[in-house]
């Protein structure tokens, strides 16, 4: 069996690999990657990041955003949030956004991965999952970036905060909140 054939055995459809991941199975990684890209067995999604296309009856399927981001960062400590999720809080936001925000501990800036743009933002801590409390704290932090009228959204967001579990909201502010979110929610989180 050739080295290239051996490498192909390790690649799984729909998976995303960094160059260093592929180097574990190849003795000539650059040549093999170039050959696999030419054959269509690999697609370059970013510098040093490749995806094995997954075929469906509708054509090639894109990689899952979480797999793209994890391979790009080389880390699993991140949270992908679509600003469209703010609409689910019921505070008056109605815009649809197609540029997800990735909170992480390694990169900052806008990066294009597999034809999609992601807005990477550095945070010292990143929650493991998105809860409504974390989403509200994120909304308060990003209030100036929203296209909606801030004077309408802010009072509704604070009313929504009053309905939430105080302990979980306080934890979200402490672990993920910005100075602005902390300042806005401080009166609500004071002991009664």
What average pLDDT is seen over the chain?
90
Q: What is the pLDDT of residue 192?
A: 60
The average pLDDT across 92-109 equals: 90
pTM of the model: 0.81
pLDDT over 90 percentage in the chain: 54
Q: Which residues contact 121 (CB under 8 A, 6 or more apart)?
A: 101, 102, 103, 104, 108
Please check the confidence at residue 134 and state whether its pLDDT lies above 70: yes
Confidence of residue 1 (pLDDT cuts 50, 70, 90): low
pLDDT over 70 percentage in the chain: 98
Confidence of residue 46 (pLDDT cuts 50, 70, 90): confident
The average pLDDT across 82-92 equals: 89
Q: What is the pLDDT of residue 169?
A: 93
Query: Contact at 8 Å (CB) between 83 and 77?
Result: no
Please check the confidence at residue 28 and state whether its pLDDT lies above 70: yes
Please check the confidence at residue 96 and state whether its pLDDT lies above 90: no
Confidence of residue 128 (pLDDT cuts 50, 70, 90): confident
Confidence of residue 56 (pLDDT cuts 50, 70, 90): confident
Helices (H), the chain: 3-10, 19-23, 29-39, 65-73, 132-141, 150-163, 166-176, 179-189
Residues 135-192 pLDDT 10s: 999 999 998 888 888 899 999 999 999 999 999 999 999 988 888 899 999 988 887 6
Query: Contact at 8 Å (CB) between 177 and 169?
Result: no
Q: What is the pLDDT of residue 36?
A: 92
Query: Contact at 8 Å (CB) between 44 and 37?
Result: yes
């Amino acid at each position: 069996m050739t080295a290239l054939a051996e490498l192909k055995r390790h690649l799984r459809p729909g998976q995303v690999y960094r160059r260093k991941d592929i180097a574990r199975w190849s003795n000539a990684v650059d040549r093999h990657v170039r050959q696999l890209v030419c054959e269509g067995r690999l697609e370059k999604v970013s510098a040093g990041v490749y995806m094995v296309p997954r075929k469906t009856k509708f054509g090639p399927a894109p990689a899952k955003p979480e797999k793209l981001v994890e391979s790009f960062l080389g880390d699993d400590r991140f949270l992908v949030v679509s600003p469209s999720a703010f609409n689910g809080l019921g505070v008056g936001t109605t815009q649809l956004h197609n540029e997800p925000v990735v909170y992480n501990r390694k990169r900052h800036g806008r990066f294009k991965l597999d034809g999609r743009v992601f807005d990477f933002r550095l945070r010292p801590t990143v929650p493991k999952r998105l809860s409504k409390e974390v989403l509200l704290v994120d909304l308060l932090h990003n209030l100036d970036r929203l296209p909606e009228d801030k004077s309408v959204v802010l009072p509704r967001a604070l009313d929504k905060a009053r309905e939430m579990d105080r302990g979980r909201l306080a934890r979200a502010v402490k672990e993920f909140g910005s100075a602005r979110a902390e300042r806005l929610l401080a009166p609500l989180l004071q002991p009664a």
